[in-house]
Amino acid sequence: MERGSDKHGRRLDEELQKETRGIVTGGHDPRAEDWRSAEPSGEDQPDVDLYGEGTLTGGVPEGLTPEDIEGRAELAAVLGKEIWPAEGAQVKARLVAAQAPDRLVQLCAGLPDGRVYDNVAEVWADLTGHKEDHRF
């Protein structure tokens, strides 16, 4: 049996989990009264959005732009997960069948019919030349 902590009992662990559920799932402090919220960083303390090398930007991998992320996500939403792996002709047919925006249909018109793509990232790299750099 796994518990959340070995310092507290099960009942206290569950109560602490209930108290922090709004913060964890909501992404912001749910407390209505300011005096109940945690105090912000002091003048001599670093802001919470900083890390050792500067400010965190997040969300955009190396090799892509924010526009690439939005375009690739829109393309993925139209194509769905069940299509993969797919040939270029299947991708183009799915876009037409799903009544995708004209700009996506036009963008994908140049995909080679016989090439097999494993995922939307490969399609996007073929279309734009922008590929996500993986660092391992």
pLDDT of residue 58: 62
- pLDDT (tens digit per residue) in 46-89: 666 545 565 555 667 778 888 888 888 899 999 999 999 999 99
User: What rounded mean pLDDT belongs to the chain?
Assistant: 80
Confidence of residue 98 (pLDDT cuts 50, 70, 90): very high
Rounded CA gap, 1 and 68, in Å?
45
Q: Could you tell me which residues come within 8 angstroms of residue 71 by beta carbon, excluding any fewer than 6 positions away?
A: 124, 128
Q: Give pTM, 2 decimals.
A: 0.55
Tell me what the mean pLDDT of segment 98-112 comes to: 92
Asked whether the predicted pLDDT for residue 4 surpasses 60, the reply is no
Q: Where are the domains of the chain?
A: 1-31, 66-128
pLDDT of residue 122: 92
